[in-house]
Homo-oligomer: A and B are copies of this chain.
Amino acid sequence: MNAVPGANRPRVPGFGDVVAAAARISPHIVRTPVMRSAAFDARAGCEVYFKCENLQTGGAFKFRGAMNVLLQLDPARTPVVITHSSGNHGTALALAARSRGMRAIVVIPRDSTRSKIAAIEAAGARVELCDPGLPAREKRLAEILANETAELVHPFDDPRIIAGQGTAALEFLSEIPALDLISTPVGGGGLIGGTALAARAVAPKIRVVAAEPAQADDAWQSFRSGERRAVSAPQTIADGLRGSIGVLNFELLRTLVDDVVTVSEAEIVAAMRVVLGDLKLVIEPSSAVPVAALLAGRLGGTGKRIGIVLSGGNVDLDACPFLAGVRLP
């Protein structure tokens, strides 16, 4: 058991892994709908298709990767899994573990979205709080692993996770094969990595673009410089994208992704609200990042057919700038 993320299974996954993951997980996940909005198309000046992973089990694409790992583990031999997560991967792993009869431990920074911490607990996992930042997460993880046996399921830098996340794009492109461009947010990079694997194989001419908050632009810096860079404790509302890109995912980003673009915090919030109004969907700030890039003209999409993976919908309603106000009884 090795607690160093990305070091225990360093193989970059291939398209075959995505196909195998799809076959493995499809009975267990939601085949999420692809949605459109005439109002949004008029606003964007192109045809835009949204793959609604905010409607996935656990409210985010993360359940795909988590299920892909856990379906390859034997609960009798691996009764406990552990991870660190800013939220959605933790919930996904907890839900996947419960469905497999396993227990989950989730190390989560104290500054994580409150509702996400609550969701992880509600899904039956043991929550271990830690200080913000990757070093603190890894330290807490190592402390726990010193005292008990658990299989580490890294949130993004694991070929099984990347392959699982790629199944969303595989479904998307099988339903809408003529996309000119596909975009997803990039944080640790599991989603864009898996998406690039699927898109390059299924639609060789498609442009694949990663979108990132300017306030957490490690992937942008890494892509531009050609070497993997990290940002420490970035301040962005996109709480799912505060981590830095992983080793395997940087390799996929470098070789299979056409561009990385960035957006401002104000653009992220405005995009969330546009999606709420036009598509009647709640998306979390991370999901709004590629939408914001499109609306800012940074995907260069006018007249084209654009696909966006809406990565999740787990918003802390009380903390959102335009969702707060009414308390439930």
Contact = CB atoms under 8 A, between A and B. Distances in A.
Contacts of A19: none
A270 B329 CA distance: 8
Interface string A128-139: 000000000000
A269 interface: yes
Interface stretch (A2-10, A64-72, A278-286): A278-286
B328 A274 contact: yes
Contacts of A313: 280
Contacts of A281: 280-282
B277 A280 contact: no
A1 interface: no
Contacts of A324: 322, 325
B59 A280 contact: yes
* Copies held by the complex: 2
A76 interface: no
Nearest to A283: B280
A325 B322 contact: yes
A55 interface: yes
Contacts of A277: 282, 315, 317
A146 interface: no
A269 B322 contact: no
B276 A317 contact: yes
Most B Cβ at <10 Å: residue of A54, A274, A323: A323
B317 A326 contact: no
Contact of A55 (B39, B54, B269, B280): B280
B55 A270 contact: no
A27 interface: no
B280 A326 contact: no
A138 B280 CA distance: 32
A282 B275 CA distance: 10
Interface of A: 33, 35, 38-39, 54-55, 57, 59, 122, 269-270, 273-274, 276-277, 280-283, 313, 315, 317, 321-326, 328-329
30 contacts: A33-B33, A35-B55, A38-B57, A39-B122, A54-B280, A55-B280, A269-B326, A270-B326, A270-B328, A270-B329, A273-B317, A273-B326, A273-B328, A274-B328, A276-B323, A277-B315, A277-B317, A280-B281, A280-B282, A280-B283, A280-B313, A281-B281, A281-B282, A282-B282, A321-B326, A322-B323, A322-B325, A322-B326, A324-B325, A325-B325
Given A276-B323, A280-B313, A322-B326, 8 more contacts: A39-B122, A270-B326, A274-B328, A276-B282, A277-B282, A281-B281, A322-B323, A325-B325
